[in-house]
Structure 1
Amino acid sequence: MNVKDILNDTDGCITQRWGSLAKCENSADIIETAHSINLLINEQKTVKTHKQQCSKQFKTATDDPAKVDALKQQMQAISERLKSLDEDRKAKEKHLSACFDATADQPSSMPSLPQQFNQSTTRDEAGSPTQAVTVTLAEDKDATSWDHYVDQHSAASLYHHYGWKGLIENTFNHQSHHFVARNHDQKIVGLLPTTRLKSRLFGGFGVSMPYFNYGGVLADNPSVSTELLKEAARFYQDLGCSHLEVRTTQADLIDWPASTDKVSMIRPLPDTTAELDQQLGSKIRAQIKRAQRENTQTLVGGLELLDQFYDVFATNMRDLGTPVYSKTLFANILSQWPQQATIVVIQLDGQPVATAFLLGHRDMLEIPWASTLKKVNPLSINMLLYWEVLSFAIAQKYQFFDFGRSSKDHNTYRFKRQWGAKPVQHHWYYWLQDEQAMPALKPDNPKFKLAIHVWQQLPVFLTRIIGPFIVKNLP
């Protein structure tokens, strides 16, 4: 944790490190030290301004030796004062950093990560690593046994369930190819869901899983995992695809080129919103209270809130220069996963201005999609949205909140970090046809800058019509 962050929000950094001010034994020392450093910084600014003013006086004193000598003495005294202030500030900053570093390795009383991140996607439970397996394409008749395996595997995500295959095919008109590994007793010992994307613009390739944050292989041991991945690579090679992208959080899965640009931002949740309020720190609390002074109302529900969610979501995606998903995608998710999917809407003066689409799985609530109209940003409505979502997660007894995927050190990463979220590394593996370069289908790719700018100028109604035809080919 850097000193600048601590000085900007001392209370928040303490609660992020220790859980609350009360749990930090030296909180008084930290707060006093931070206050002293800020005073020193302000004094340095004042002395530097005085030095600049003194320097300007030399121009008018060239004919007055006595005045020149006096100014030289004054400049020397100012320089010595600045040096003293700088030494004092550096010493206090070193002490401040030491206060945080001293307990950096102490274990937390909270569980460190959700269940799906704490376990390897290969669980070493079904026989020896050299066990012979047969890998085939799953059929719809395998859905029940497939889901039973997913339910029993500790590293499974919600997106590993077989139902997403039909949802993707019906929503995006892409064909999914799910691979299943069985042992000699025909018992499932591993699986790999994939979807083939095919377009004139981006060519043909496979992804596990497109559109969502998690996917990849689940298996009983590393050898099964390797067989599944190799068979999938052979399959996509035979189809003439350029690559297969496997999205997972497991390191050292297979000896393929890999990208580590992405992380998930995960926050452990306290038992009550009162504890959450204390943990967040004064800066975030002030922003939330700013929004609460407005005429807002929070709605929590499902399909009945879909229109309000989509109106805000489509407008925000246009403003970001991103093609929007079809409303059908969200309707299908809400219909197929009614117990897991929730919509949260913040209304201002009776009109929706901020929305979130949530998906729960086991001990974690995830926010795959969230949007706030930019016109209400000065009111801190987005901060209120996340407060309401976190409060909902606590009320539903989730242990963790997943703020979603981010690129490291980007704006969204820093936004999520201030809420106390910690990064979980993603590993995206690539089988590449003829050793091609790894694909670069990313919004920050310079090739897409012009397209993003043009998209931002389009009417929202038009982006809602043509956006789904574009975004279906962007995984």
Structure 2
Amino acid sequence: MISIDILEQKDSQKWDSFIRSSNHSSVYHLHFFKTVIEKTYHHKSYYLVASEDNIVKGVLPLFVIKSPVFGNALVSLPFCDYGGIVTSDDTCGRLLLDKAAELAVSLKISEIEFRQTTEQKYFTDTICAGSLKLSKKTGKVRMKLELPDNQDALFSTFPAKLRSQIRKPQKENCTGKNGGVELLDDFYDVFVHNMRDLGSPVHSKALMRNMLEASPDNRLFVIYHNATTPVACSMVCGFNDIAINPWASFKRTYQKISPNMLLYWEMLCYSIEKKYKYFDFGRSTPGEGTFKFKEQWGAKPEQLFWYHYNTRVIPEDEPNGKKEKFIKVWSKLPLPVTRVLGPVIRRQVHL
């Protein structure tokens, strides 16, 4: 019989072994991410394990995200593109879903989100005795590039325009570095600028620091102009045979010299050097600007499936006038203000 239990610290290695052996898991499913989120934002977690005869059959990592403004939610997983139930057994998946529903009832939470990378049949139209209704969101894709064995082979696949765009920042005296916490201040300087310009509250610097300290497979990249001025930045997280890019930013004032093109080239070269087979550019909406940007590098779309339970069915393209107004106002705020207030708000936004 399959039992569902909450993960104990002593079983964290068993959890990670299961995650690394699955074809439908991600770096964010690893136990270190639990520690990172708890340490950074102090959110309560429930890591559920389905087991039979002491063998792990499936897992579901959940965080409780509380907000007096946005409401409370159970999310798998917050602040990243991928999460959800990991199992190859539909019966096991259903049991984990039912346990999540039980948690929602006991915690008096009316919103649950599962960020799956594959379609699952066990997500029913309603849960919690019909009080929570399913909205299946399929408007996003992950952009994934298969990597060759060497940099020259990859460069030769690029169209002439892209090759020229990569060379341009090099001609403008831009250079790149990759490393750990020693680059964090320069990374965050660029990150704060970019998030403000996008109208989005910035994450706490502690999140990146904790990510770097949690795993040697997490790496920062910074592009400098004239050797000293940070103008673009990103992070790469390694997992099995794939390098994942959760964040990438550049300063709009340096857009003419295209530092972001050199940034992505540096990440791709690093990924090839470390023998990763794939590079994940992250989530995009088909047809939009970020999708086309990633597509030019040769990345191919893979459908994402986000299963969202709420008290009502929410249309995927439902307009949000308040969000648009917030973005407009936030993008005009002074940087010091966004640096202080950003993390306070961002910890409450689970997207």
Identify the TM-score tier after normalising by the shorter chain.
over 0.9
Query: Once the two structures are superposed, what CA deviation does each residue of 1:345-398 show, in whole Å capped at 9, x if it has no partner?
Result: 110012110111110111111111011101111112211111111111111111
Contact 2:175 2:225 in 1 (8 A): yes
Q: Secondary structure at the match of 1:280?
A: coil
The letter for the 2-side match of 1:468 is P
Residue among 212, 217, 223 paired with 1:346 = 223
* Deviation for aligned residue 1:438: 3.1
**Structure 1 partner of 2:119:** 251
Distance verdict in 2 for CA 1:156–1:317, change over 3 Å: same
Any conservation in 2 of the 1:441–1:474 contact (CA below 8 Å)?
no
State the Cα distance separating 1:165 from its structure 2 match. Answer: 1.6
Equivalent positions of 1:229-268 (< 5 A) are 229-253=97-121, 254-256=123-125, 257=134, 258-268=136-146
Alignment of 1:141-156 (within 5 A): 141-156=10-25
1:436 aligns with 2:293: no
CA deviations on 1:169-196 (whole Å, 9 max, x unpaired) are 121121011111122x232221100101
Cα shift readout 1:416-447 (whole Å, capped 9, x = no counterpart): 11111111100011233xx42338799x8332
C-alpha contact (below 8 Å) 1:233/1:431 kept by paired residues? no
Instruction: Please state whether the residue corresponding to 1:216 is helix, strand or coil.
Output: coil
**Cα RMSD (Å):** 1.7
Paired position in structure 1 for 2:73: 205
The residue identity in structure 2 corresponding to 1:269 is L
> Is residue 303 of structure 1 aligned with residue 181 of structure 2?
yes
Alignment match, 1:361: 239
Write the letter of the residue equivalent to 2:294: K
Name the TM-score, length of structure 2 as normaliser. Answer: 0.92
How many residue pairs align between the two structures?
Answer: 339
2:83 corresponds to 1:187: no
Residue pair 2:137, 2:316 contacting (<8 A) in 1 also = no
In structure 1, stretches of 5+ residues that fail to align are 1-131
Q: Which residue of 2 aligns with 1:410?
A: 288
- Cα deviation 1:83-110 (Å, max 9, x = unaligned): xxxxxxxxxxxxxxxxxxxxxxxxxxxx
Give the whole-Å Cα distance in 1 for the aligned partners of 2:280 and 2:229: 27
User: Residues 152 and 252 from structure 1, CA distance in 2 versus in 1: closer, same or farther, beyond 3 angstroms?
Assistant: closer
| Aligned mates of 1:341, 1:441 — CA distance in 2 | 34
* Structure-2 residue corresponding to 1:219: 87
Match in the other structure for 1:103: none
- Aligned twin of 1:471: 346
Matched residue type, 2:235 = F
Return the structure number with greater strand share: 2
Q: Does 1:452 align with 2:327?
A: yes
CA distance in 2, matches of 1:198, 1:424: 31
Aligned amino acid, residue 261 of structure 2: M
Report if aligned partners of 2:139, 2:316 keep a CA contact under 8 Å in 1.
Answer: no
Partner of 1:5: none
Which shows bigger deviation, 193-202 or 136-145?
136-145
Letter paired with 1:249: T
- Between 173-182 and 135-144, the greater mean CA deviation after superposition: 135-144
3-state SS of paired residue (2:201): coil
Cα 1:250/1:300, change in 2 over 3 Å: same
Q: Secondary structure at the match of 2:262?
A: helix
* Paired residue secondary structure (1:408): coil
Q: 1:440 to 1:140 in 2, by over 3 A?
A: farther
- The structure with the larger Rg is 1
The 8 Å contact of residues 82 and 115 in structure 2, kept in 1 or not, is answered as: yes
